[in-house]
Amino acid sequence: MAPAAGTQLTAHTGYLKPDLESPMRIISANLNGIRSAYKKGFHDYLAEAGADIVCVQELKAQEADLSAEMQRPHGMHGVWHCAEKRGYSGVAVYSKREPDQVQIGMGIPEFDAEGRFVRTDFGNLSVISLYLPSGSSAEERQQVKYRFLDAFYPMLHDMKHSGRDIVVCGDWNIAHQNIDLKNWKGNLKNSGFLPEERAWIGKVIAELGWVDMWRTLYPEAPGYTWWSNRGQAYAKDVGWRIDYHMVTPELAANARSAHVYKEQKFSDHAPLVVDYDYPF
């Protein structure tokens, strides 16, 4: 059972011996409904993906809706933060090792009610699954998004200066640069590519010092992770890169490679996979 929002849980610390030969693989995937994604083969994908940690977003399920396989896929440990509203939002982290500490929620009621943040700690490593609000449905939601950005920035500052190795995985709902979406000229006034949003994520990188892992590894590769369901966006690869691994510099220096998994389609997003030379 997941603890209440904003609480911390001390758990098992008897870890297996780290495998120093193989990289630590972390996957981030917006599922747009975990039950739908499982019907499309996501559970089978996890069996073959070789992930040590999997961060998922948009569970669109309550805890009671999560089957045993969804709670502990292939024996992995699971922690989740479901939204109060049914069929909406929600995040989770699955890991081969049980975390020694868990934080459910940001400690901000407005956002915790929507199930947008869960953090897992393993020694000096912290892995966060994040689902940043979208503002595309209405101006009211755009204002919620701006409030989230204002609240999350100091949290990113504090985490960056904590001395821990941290990766914030998830759907940030912002494309940073022109290369990050196919039709950038046509989206300059749309949520997800507004000047204020792009400036904010630019400050996270340039001023706070977080590393956008994909763009650092592959400066010239678009790396799209989301495609509209309208028209032929997926078939024509008219996508957006809005799913990130944002990483502290020391951990980022150990990144080996990354890829976007498109051999199967589980949702309107594709899993973002990054391998790190880091003991786990």
Contacts of 139 (CB under 8 A, 6+ apart): none
CATH topology of domain 24-276: Deoxyribonuclease I; Chain A (3.60.10)
Q: Is 58 annotated as a binding residue?
A: yes
Positions marked catalytic: 131, 171, 269
pLDDT digits (tens, 9 = 90+) for 114-143: 999 999 999 999 999 999 999 988 999 999
What's the pLDDT at 13? 29
Count CB atoms within 10 A of the CB of residue 15: 14
Quote the pLDDT of residue 22: 83
Is 275 annotated as belonging to a binding site?
A: no
Q: According to DSSP H, which parts of 40-138 are helical? A: 42-49, 68-71, 109-112
269 is in an annotated binding site: yes
Determine the average pLDDT of the residues in 198-216: 98
pLDDT digits (tens, 9 = 90+) for 46-55: 999 999 999 9
pLDDT in tens, 56-96: 999 999 999 999 999 999 999 999 999 999 999 999 999 99
Of 83, 96, 68, 41, the residue nearest 271 (C-alpha)? 41
